[in-house]
């Protein structure tokens, strides 16, 4: 099939819940991907913050090829070495003592919510502590509990009724949490940097305050690091950059570098909520996914990708900040490390993303009007420079279209 036929077939059979761009990506290397027509793209979307090591990283390719030939799956009836080593490394590097390995961000969040409820009931003996506080503009995934936790009505639409017991506070507003929290609150769940809601970093005082409020009320604190974790914000886990540790943390996306994996990491105390049979998943922590995650974690450390995330993130933010100066389109540039958002005036973000793609730069829209940049952590200074150039041209083209009397800058 040629590209046109492939697109026709894809659109005929794909779930109508997706609307992919009219290109078919075929192969990648580093920060670049190529489509079936041979067009090259600089990928600052990275599979939505997933491809932390970029494409075809030699260490990951080699580790996976070896593992495929040895063992891909055995179920959780048995241990495997990669799974044990991964859990060990996650616990050694984080506040956590135990890990539940699973397959996605939504599943990691389901695990966290189930763990918190069961902890309050089974360990604390408090049958009434069943409620959760999450935040407006948050995103936690697409399963029923995860969409209920997601504080954006558009994800609930048509799926109601949502699960009972969830209320939504305002991000970066401790008073709104104080107003909702009670002796019935099992846990508070928050993204240290909101991703899908429009790339919004938490204020350090906000996360510190959440810790204090949770401790005061006996609620568990859950950090959803599915998007912001694994070196992206300059520390292996985003919470380290804030100096506030949660009781439970969820990971996915960047952890597997492209191989699906999720993890719910928690303290020994929180994990007292689970006993044999409480929770399980067939593929969780299988040796193939665990090998990928181990390799990602080791490579993030051996190649100093956390430092790279800070340096390249600063470069990107500086460049975007300069473009924002005097731009009638850019409302705000914000982010942390290599998780950067450019909030635009209404109606601009989607079109600018399309213009960027035509020029060979992949980015996407997060929230109602924010262009999101989440490139692989291996991105180099010259890649950032090129991406800034393409974004600037696309921005100016969009601005010229709004005001046709002006020349494209
Ligand atoms: C913060 C956050 N949590 C959870 C999820 C859901 O992850 P998944 O799509 O792997 O289920 C996402 C996905 O974008 C996310 O950004």
Reported as a single tens digit per residue, the pLDDT across 359-374 is 999 999 999 999 999 9
- pLDDT at 373 (0 to 100): 98
Number of H helices, E strands in the chain: 14, 17
Q: Using alpha carbons only, what angle is made at residue 216 by residues 188 and 227, rounded to the nearest 5 degrees?
A: 25
Distances (CA, A) of 208 to 215, 231, 244, 247: 11, 21, 6, 13
pLDDT greater than 60 at residue 240? yes
- pLDDT at 406 (0 to 100): 56
CATH code of 3-56+304-402, in short, is: 3.90.1150.10
CB distance 252 to ligand 1 below 6 Å: yes
Q: Rounded to the nearest whole angstrom, what is the distance from the C-alpha of residue 144 to the centroid of ligand 1?
A: 13
Reported as a single tens digit per residue, the pLDDT across 315-338 is 999 999 999 998 999 999 999 999
CATH number, domain 71-302, options 1.10.1060.10, 3.40.640.10, 3.30.43.10, 3.40.718.10? 3.40.640.10
pLDDT greater than 90 at residue 408? no
- Choice among 253, 274, 336, 383 that is catalytic: 253
Please compute the mean of the pLDDT values over residues 221-234 and round it to a whole number: 98
Q: Are strands 32-35 and 339-344 parallel, antiparallel or unpaired?
A: unpaired
Reported as a single tens digit per residue, the pLDDT across 71-100 is 999 999 999 999 999 999 999 999 999 999
Domain boundaries, the chain: 3-56+304-402, 71-302
pLDDT greater than 90 at residue 27? yes
Q: Rounded to the nearest whole angstrom, what is the distance from the C-alpha of residue 3 to the centroid of ligand 1?
A: 30
Reported as a single tens digit per residue, the pLDDT across 276-302 is 999 999 999 999 999 999 999 999 999
Is residue 253 flagged as an active site residue? yes
Reported as a single tens digit per residue, the pLDDT across 119-156 is 999 999 999 999 999 999 999 999 999 999 999 999 99
Partners of 101 in the beta sheet? 263
Give me the sheet containing 32-35, strands edge to edge: 25-29, 32-35, 40-43, 361-362
Q: Whose CA is nearest to atom 3 of ligand 1?
A: 140
Q: How far, in Å, CA of 162 to CA of 152, rounded?
A: 12
Cis upstream peptide for 332 (omega within 30°):
no
Q: Rounded to the nearest whole angstrom, what is the distance from the C-alpha of residue 152 to the centroid of ligand 1?
A: 14
Residues 6+ apart with CB under 8 A from 99: 86, 87, 90, 91, 263, 264, 265, 266
Q: Whose CA is nearest to atom 13 of ligand 1?
A: 141
Distances (CA, A) of 27 to 24, 36, 359: 10, 9, 18
- pLDDT at 404 (0 to 100): 72
91: left (phi over 0), alpha (psi -120 to 50) or beta: alpha
Q: How far, in Å, CA of 394 to CA of 397, rounded?
A: 5
Percent of the chain's residues with pLDDT above 70: 99
The model's confidence at residue 407, banded by pLDDT at 50, 70 and 90, is: low
Give the up-direction half-sphere exposure of residue 44: CA atoms within 13 A in the CB hemisphere: 31
The model's confidence at residue 385, banded by pLDDT at 50, 70 and 90, is: very high
Burial class (CB in 10 A: 0-12, 13-18, 19+), 301: middle
pLDDT greater than 50 at residue 409? no
Reported as a single tens digit per residue, the pLDDT across 171-199 is 999 999 999 999 999 999 999 999 999 99
- Choice among 43, 224, 247, 383 that is catalytic: 224
Binding residues for pyridoxal 5'-phosphate: 105-106, 139, 224-227, 282
- Choice among 139, 206, 271, 373 that is catalytic: 139
Task: Provide the H-helix boundaries in 58-104.
Answer: 58-70, 81-93
Binding residues for N(2)-acetyl-L-ornithine: 142, 281
Q: Whose CA is nearest to atom 6 of ligand 1?
A: 141
Residues 6+ apart with CB under 8 A from 345: 328, 329, 331, 369
53 touches 64 (CB < 8 A): no
């Amino acid at each position: 099939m040629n590209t046109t036929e492939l697109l026709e077939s894809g659109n005929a059979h794909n779930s109508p819940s997706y609307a992919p761009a009219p290109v078919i990506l075929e192969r990648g290397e580093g920060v670049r991907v190529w489509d079936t027509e041979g067009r090259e793209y600089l990928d600052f979307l990275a599979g939505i913050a997933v491809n932390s090591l970029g494409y075809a990283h030699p260490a990951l390719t080699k580790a996976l090829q070896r593992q495929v030939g040895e063992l891909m799956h055995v179920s959780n009836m048995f241990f495997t070495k990669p799974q044990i080593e991964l859990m060990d490394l996650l616990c050694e590097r984080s506040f956590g003592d135990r890990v539940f390995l699973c397959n996605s961000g939504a599943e990691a969040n389901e695990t966290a919510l189930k763990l918190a409820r069961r902890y309050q009931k089974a360990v604390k003996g408090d049958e009434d502590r069943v409620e959760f506080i999450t935040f407006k503009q948050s995103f936690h995934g697409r399963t029923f509990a995860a969409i209920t936790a997601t504080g954006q009505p558009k994800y609930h639409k048509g799926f109601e009724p949502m699960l009972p017991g969830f209320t939504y506070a305002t991000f970066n507003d401790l008073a709104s949490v104080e107003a909702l929290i009670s002796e019935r609150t099992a846990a508070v769940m928050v993204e240290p940097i909101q991703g899908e809601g429009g790339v919004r970093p938490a204020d350090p005082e906000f996360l510190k305050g959440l810790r204090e409020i949770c401790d005061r009320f006996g609620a568990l604190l859950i950090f959803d690091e599915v998007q912001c974790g694994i070196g992206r914000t300059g520390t292996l886990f985003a919470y380290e950059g804030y100096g506030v540790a949660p009781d439970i943390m969820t990971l996915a996306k960047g952890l597997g570098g492209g191989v699906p994996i999720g993890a719910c990491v928690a303290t020994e105390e929180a994990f007292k909520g689970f006993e044999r049979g409480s929770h399980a998943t067939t593929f969780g922590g299988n040796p193939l996914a665990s090998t990928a995650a181990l390799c990602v974690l080791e490579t993030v450390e051996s190649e100093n990708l956390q430092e790279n995330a800070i340096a390249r993130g600063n470069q990107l933010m500086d460049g975007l900040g300069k473009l924002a100066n005097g731009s009638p389109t850019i409302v705000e540039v914000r982010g942390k490390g290599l998780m950067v958002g450019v909030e635009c005036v209404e109606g601009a973000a989607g079109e600018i993303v399309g213009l960027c793609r035509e020029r060979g730069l992949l980015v996407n829209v997060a929230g109602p009007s924010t262009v999101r940049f989440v490139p692989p952590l291996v991105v180099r200074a010259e890649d950032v420079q090129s991406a800034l150039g393409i974004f600037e041209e696309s921005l100016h083209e969009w601005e010229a279209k709004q005001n046709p009397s002006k020349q494209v800058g």
